[in-house]
Amino acid sequence: MSDLVQHLINGIATGTIYALVALGYTMVYGVLKLINFAHGDVMMVGVYFGYATAFQLGRAARTTLWGVLLIFLVAMAACALLGFIIERFAYRPLRDKPRLTALITAIGISFALSYGFQLDFGPLPGAAPRAFPEVIRPTEWLVLGDRDVVVWNWQVISLLIAAALMFILQYLVYRTRFGRAMRAVSFDHRVAGLMGIPTDRVIAITFMLGSALAAGAGLLYAIKDTAVQPLMGLYVGLKAFVAAVVGGIGQVPGAMVGALLLGLIEEFVVGYTASSWREAVAFGVLIVVLLVKPEGLFGRVAAEKV
C-alpha cells in the first residue's frame, strides 16, 4: 500500500514537469497548428544554460533563493531567445506552406540541436552526461511510517513552481488582452490579422513563452534526476506531446490533465513491471487515445471545412 502512495507521489512530480513542457507544445500548436518537434531540445538548451549559471555561481550562492531565481531566469531567458530565433527564421517563412514542410523543418532543428550539443569542441558540452550541481539540498519533509512514504522538499518545491507557472499562464491566456489576441490567432490567424492583431508579434511572443516554460520544466527535471545530457530533451518532448494530444491539443487545461495522467501511468507501469518499458508507455497511451477519442479529453471535434 505504501508503495502505491510513493508511486503516486513520484507520478505527480513527474507529471507536473511534463505538464510544463506540454503547455508549451499546446500553445504553439494552438497558434501555428505546428507540432514543434524542437521543443524538447530547446528545453535541453535551457538546462545547459542553467547548468553553466549554477556552476559559475558556486556552491554557496546557488543554494540561496536568489541564486535559484537567477538560474531559472537565465535559463528561461536563453530559451525565450532561442525560441524567438527559431520561429523568426525557420517557421515564419513557411507559415503559408503545407504543414509537412514546417514539420520537417522542426525535425531538422531538433536534430541540429540535440546532435550539435553532443559535439565537444568550443563551448559545446559533448555527449557525456554531467551532474547538475546541487541547487536544492534534498531533505525529507514528510516521512510516514518507517520510511515507507517519503515526500522530499524538492518534490514539493517543484510542484509549487510548476503550479505557479501554470497559474501565471492561465491568467495570461484567459484574463489579459494579449491572451485574447493569442486565442484569436489560434482560432483563425488570417482573420485575426484583419482585425488588427499583430499576428507576427503574437506568435513570436507565444513561442517565447512556451520555450521559457520548457526551460523551467527542464531545470526541475535536472534537479530531480541530476543527470544532464544532450539527448534528454528528445524523449521528454515526445512524452509531453503525447500528453498534449491526450488532453486535447490546443487546450491549456487539457495539456495539464493529460500530462499528469501520463506521469502517473508511466510511474505505475515502470514501478510494477520493469524500467525498460518506460518509453513504450507514452506511445501506447497515445495509440489507445487516438483509437478511442482522437480529439483528446478536452478537445472539440473539429469539422474539416472543404
Partner 1 sequence: MPVPRWARGITPVLAAAAVLAVAHWLLAESPFFIYVSSLVGVNVILAVSLNIVNGMTGQFSIGHAGFMAVGAYIAGKLSLEMRDTAVSFLPEAASDQLFFILSLLAGGSAAALCGFLVGLPSLRLRGDYLAIVTLGFGEIIRVIVQNTPALGAALGLSGIPQSASLFSVWFCVFVTVLVARRIASSAHGRSLWAIREDEVAAEAMGVNTTAYKVRAFVISSFFAGVAGGLFAHFVPIINPNSFTFVKSMEVVVMVVAGGLGSTTGAIVAAVALTLLPEGLRSTFTAVGGGNAGLAQKVDQIRMPIYGLLLVALMLARPQGLFGTREVWDVLPRWLPRRRKGTA
Partner 2 sequence: MHRILTGGIVVLAALFAAGCEKKTSTQTETPATGTTGQTGVQTTGTTGSAGTEGSAGTAGTAGAPATGDVILLGEVGSLTGAQATFGISTRNGVELALNEANAEGGVKGHKLAVRVYDDQSKPEEAANAATRLITQDHVKIIIGEVASTNSIAMAHKAQPAKVPMITPSSTNEGVTAIGDYIFRVCFIDPFQGFVMAKFSRDHLKSTRAAVLRDTRSDYSMGLSEVFTRKFTEMGGKIVATEAYAQGDTDFRSQLTAIRSAKPEAIYVPGYYNDVGIIARQARELGIKVPLLGGDGWESEKLWELGGSAVVGSYFSNHYSPEDPSPRVQNFIAAYKKAYGGVPDSLAALAYDAARVGIEAMRRAPSLETSAIRDAIAQTKDFPGVAGTITLDEKRNAIKPAVVVQVGDTSSKYVATITP
Is there a contact between 62 and 135 (Cβ–Cβ < 8 Å)?
yes
* 245 interacts with, out of partner 2, partner 1, none, CB within 5 to 8 A per kind: partner 1
Q: Which of residues 35 and 80 has its CB atom nearest to partner 1 in the complex?
A: 35
Stretch that binds partner 1, among 47-55, 56-64, 194-202, 276-284 (CB under 8 A): 276-284
Residue 118 touching partner 1 (CB under 8 A) = yes
* 225 interacts with, out of partner 2, partner 1, none, CB within 5 to 8 A per kind: partner 2
Residue 82 touching partner 1 (CB under 8 A) = no
- Contact residues for partner 2 (CB under 8 A)? 3, 6-7, 10, 14, 118, 120, 126-131, 134, 138, 140, 147, 150, 152, 224-227, 229, 232, 267, 270-271, 274-276, 278
Q: Which of residues 232 and 286 has its CB atom nearest to partner 1 in the complex?
A: 286
* 103 interacts with, out of partner 1, partner 2, none, CB within 5 to 8 A per kind: partner 1
* 105 interacts with, out of partner 2, partner 1, none, CB within 5 to 8 A per kind: partner 1
Residue 108 touching partner 1 (CB under 8 A) = yes
> Cell 544532450, residue?
230
Check the CA dihedral 192-195-201-202 and report its sign: negative
User: Residue 105 corresponds to which cell in the numbers above?
Assistant: 523543418
Residues that bind partner 1 (CB under 8 A): 35, 90, 93-94, 97, 99-105, 107-113, 115-116, 118-119, 121, 234, 238, 241-242, 245, 274, 276-277, 279-280, 282-284, 286-287, 290-291, 294, 304, 306
